[in-house]
Amino acid sequence: MNQNPDHTTTGSPSGAKSSPSKRRHSSRPSGRASHAARIAAWAVETTERAEEQTITEQTSAVQNITSSPSPLETLKLLLEAQRGHDLTRVGSTYESLRGIDTVHEGLILSCQLGESLNEKANRLGQWVAAGVTHIVDCRIEDSDEEFVALHAPHITYIYAPTDDDGLEREPEWFDGALLDLGTALTDPDSILLVHCAAGINRGPSMAFRLLLEAGWEPVAALNAIREARPVTRVIYAPDALMHFYGERIWSSDSDVAEVAS
């Protein structure tokens, strides 16, 4: 039955109050429900903001790697520094190759121990006197692991073999050395001696990669190696640099492969 509209204004007071009250409850949530809704909305907003912040930070991290300077710019600087190194000035005499050359307090460059047992013993004695704790041998053609284990067992011998053929060094070469060195790179008491046969390419290139891992800027690391051991050429430094930046970052720049080649 339809109610007379005028009846709500002329009826009893209790009837007048009950009808508006029902309309208020149906159109607006209670205080508790409203509070819960605000909490739910805040939670959604906070989650979305956190996700946006994470994406922003990740994007910023990638931009920092690739723009300060870019891998391509870094590689060009590195190759320019290599070309500017005058090998004719420093020569490559036997005595200059046999030197124990300190890049910094925790990194030394040299050549192989030697051919004869007497020469090996004398040079190993020099390495021990220099406080060497780790030897990184980059030769594929020979190894002194047994000799070092017999005469200087306290030194950790890391065999990281590769050929000196002038071709691109595979990432596994750097991966293996970094894995075997472990915490030695960050241990202030560690003194690493890195060498190959002559200490011109393979050993210095590996040392360059270790400096990058320790936080050195690429050109500064290359210059430090050159200043300590002027006979070096470090022809595998671009491979070390590419390994340091990672294939994902480098693949984003189509010019890198061309410059590196």
Contact 140, 162 (CB under 8 A): yes
156 forms beta bridges with 134
Residues 6+ apart with CB under 8 A from 79: 238, 259
Nearest-10 crossing angle of helices 202-213, 237-245: 30
Q: Which of 87, 66, 69 is nearest to 78 (CA)?
A: 69
Instruction: Pick left, alpha or beta for residue 47 (phi over 0 → left; psi -120 to 50 → alpha; otherwise beta).
Output: alpha
Characterize the bridge pairing of strands 107-110 and 192-195. Answer: parallel
Average pLDDT across each block of 10 residues of the chain; the chain has 261 residues. List them in order.
41 43 42 55 60 52 50 72 58 71 96 93 96 98 96 98 93 96 94 96 96 91 91 90 75 55 55
- Spell 207-233 as b/e; 16+ CB within 10 A means b: bbbbbbbeebebeebbebbbebbbbbb
- The three-class DSSP label of residue 135 is strand
According to the model, what pLDDT value does residue 158 have?
A: 98
> Is this model's pTM higher than 0.75 or not?
no
In 91-226, beta strands by DSSP E? 101-104, 107-110, 134-139, 156-162, 192-195
According to the model, what pLDDT value does residue 47 have?
A: 60
- Find the distance separating the first CA and the last CA of the chain, reported in whole Å: 93
According to the model, what pLDDT value does residue 18 have?
A: 43
- The three-class DSSP label of residue 158 is strand
CATH of range 70-260; options 3.90.1200.10, 3.40.50.150, 3.90.190.10, 3.90.550.10: 3.90.190.10
In 51-113, beta strands by DSSP E? 101-104, 107-110
